[in-house]
Structure 1
Amino acid sequence: MTPDAPSITALIISFNEEVHIARCIERIRPLVQRIVVVDSFSTDRTVEIARSLGADVYQNPFTTHGAQVQWGADNTGIDTDWILRMDCDEYLEAGLLDALRTRTPALPDDVSALDLKLKVLFRGKFIRWGGYYRTWLTRMWRPGRARMESRWMDEKLLIDSGRVEKITGGDLVDENLRDIGWWTDKHNRYATLQMIDFVLREQGVVRDHDEPGAVTPAAKFKRFLRHTIYGGAPLYLRAVLYFVQRYFLRLGFLDGRRGFVWHSLHGFWFFMLMDAKIDEARMHIAAHGIDSFPDYLKSRYGINFALPAS
């Protein structure tokens, strides 16, 4: 790590990421004073590579992304002014590294968190169209001023005090180097987690405002679109309409052949799969009641879950 770097700790979540972990650490190293990797007991060389590159590696059983990030923030002795959350398949562009290095030490105290703009590369192709290159993620925060939501999927950072500021000059790049089989397996798991989150809210088991703190206005608006507008539409039809607006109305077709694969899988297949899993769960609950949902998740998906005490 760089001795004269701003007071930032990079917090990286990992599981079997030997293909990405070196790129992630090497690109973030010039910006930060410390790198913490929270690993979910990888069986490949992830831990070995991370330690060889100077990262402090901790291991913790994985439940959800939000819980893993919060465990890392709470249990790894972070004492810098800022925490920067990274996934292993992500890196920061040079312009964003420079902007953070320059601006972070001079930010006023009322700035508690920072939004970074997301850029997705799919098979090396920048996905510019379809509305996707408008996503801002709250990925940096001052310790003690924010924490992760307890959600199965789509977790956000809850800001306890202060304000959030956007940092421009470059992007947070998501570029996964694995093959399409791995990508579909991962999104199959994500569809299951989205189903659980949707069903629990539909059944009134949890609510969006169960936890104190606030998400950013951009995240709140995105959640309104997903839960109220999209979530209120009929199953299956909404996946079709979402793909139409993304691929045609938001010009996703301009992303070319690889963009067609991306928008078709991420903007249609993934949402159709979520709806199919929601449909199955609804039928099970209608026949057996919400109390049977934990057993359903265990038998179908191998997920251990207990309903909150009433």
Structure 2
Amino acid sequence: MPTVHLSVVIITYNEEQNIGRCLEALYDVAEDVVVVDSFSTDRTVAICQQHGVRVVQHAFEGYVAQKNFATTQAQHDFVLQLDADEVLTEELRASIRHAKQHWQHAGYTLTRLTNYCGTWVRHGGWYPDRKLRLYDRRLGEWQGVLLHERFELVSGQSVGTLSGDLLHYSYHSVEQHVSQLNRFTSIAADELWLRGRRKVNLFHLLLKPWWRFLHGYFFRLGFLDGFAGLSIAVISALGVFLKFAKLKFTRSEKAIGEEK
């Protein structure tokens, strides 16, 4: 196959702290960059315009729908999907350029290395965080319910691997992590409800959070990441509790509404 042309697609909302760093690492990778913005109220759009990339405004309808819409806005069928808080390393850029010149698969996976409060996290189940992000859009689509969206290729397609890390600048503070956790656990509780989950017991509220902590901090060696590893393990365990607590109590209002 001859060299393919690549589009990079990014969804944003109030990402002025991150989007510039993300765009600066794309100068030698893509022939087309499109940012699908959910009507940001900060300088996100202005920064994108300064970098000369296309901006499409589209109301946020959920991560899966938004990423599928963004993929349709690409000028080319070969797409690299990024989040605004992610940055390509030089090794990963070189690997992507090589894949463009020798395209052999329906999609390619990469490893994501996360920065948590200034620490690069390599344990606790956070690395290698392998994602399928480079793909031929004609051979798959983004799938999922409300959270944990993923690009799914049609059955029988081959998948290659890229070398080099995708740097993920996640949380700048514990406060930010907890705030995000509160929002995501509400969405996760809604997703469980949509999947038909109704019953919550002490196993979900006590044992599953403890298992999440033990698994991440000890079995997956999270303690090797120092305070960052401890913080991640504790907050992750809290997240499990909150998800099921919200499903049991807050989402019980849905059941009352359905009975009426």
Structure 2 residues without counterparts, runs of 5 or longer: none
Q: CA deviation at 1:291?
A: 6.2
- In structure 2, distance between residues paired with 1:242 and 1:179: 21
Measured after TM superposition, the shift of residue 281 of structure 1 is 4.2
Shift of 1:132: 2.0
Matches within 5 A, 1:207-246: 234-246=204-216
Partner residue in 2 for 1:18: 16
Asked whether 1:256 is paired with 2:226, we answer: yes
Aligned partners of 2:69, 2:79: CA distance in 1, in Å? 13
* Alignment length (residue pairs): 256
The answer to whether the 8 Å contact 1:11/1:38 transfers is yes
**Mapping for residues 56-95 of structure 1, pairs under 5 Å:** 56-74=54-72, 76=73, 78-95=74-91
Partner-residue secondary structure (3-state), 1:130 = coil
Q: Check whether the contact 1:7–1:32 (CA below 8 A) recurs between aligned residues.
A: yes
Q: Secondary structure at the match of 1:44?
A: coil
Residues 44-123 of structure 1 aligned to structure 2 (within 5 Å): 44-74=42-72, 76=73, 78-108=74-104, 111-123=105-117
CA contact (8 A) 1:116 1:166 kept: no
| CA apart distance, 1:163 | 2.3
Choose from 139, 144, 150 the match for 1:145: 139
> In the superposition, relative to structure 1, how do residues 171 and 187 fare at CA in structure 2: closer, same or farther (>3 Å)?
same
Q: Which runs of 5+ in 1 are unaligned?
A: 205-230, 293-310
Q: Is the 8 A contact 2:96 2:162 kept in 1?
A: no
The alpha-carbon distance between structure 1 residues 27 and 194, as it changes in their structure 2 partners (threshold 3 A), is same
1:270 equivalent in alignment to 2:239? yes
**Closer, same or farther: CA 6–121 of 1 in aligned 2, 3 Å:** farther
Aligned-partner residue type, residue 195 of structure 2? R
Q: Which amino acid aligns with 2:13?
A: F
Q: Which has the higher contact order (CA 8 A, sep 6+)?
A: 2
Structure 1 residue 176: Cα displacement: 3.1
Name the CA shift for 1:177/1:54 in 2 (closer, same or farther; >3 Å).
Answer: farther
Contact 1:6 1:32 in 2 (8 A): no
Sequence identity of aligned pairs in percent? Answer: 28
Task: Compute the displacement of 1:97 (Å).
Answer: 0.8
TM-score, with structure 1 as normaliser: 0.76
Structure with the largest fraction of strand: 2
The question of whether the paired residues in 2 share the 8 Å contact of 1:148 and 1:158 is answered with yes
Q: 1:235: Cα distance to partner?
A: 3.2
- Specify the alignment match of 2:34 in structure 1: 36
Q: Distance in 1 between matches of 2:28 and 2:156?
A: 28
| Aligned-partner residue type, residue 122 of structure 1 | Y
**Counterpart secondary structure, 2:87:** strand
Shift of 1:237: 1.6
Q: Supply the distance in 2 between the matched residues of 1:163 and 1:43 (Cα, whole angstroms).
A: 40
Conservation of the 8 A alpha-carbon contact between 1:130 and 1:246: yes
- The TM-score with structure 2 as length reference comes to 0.90
> Counterparts of 1:71 and 1:95 in 2: how far apart (Å)?
29
CA distance in 2, matches of 1:272, 1:119: 26
Give the whole-Å Cα distance in 2 for the aligned partners of 1:38 and 1:239: 36
Kept in 2, the 8 Å contact 1:67–1:150? The answer is no
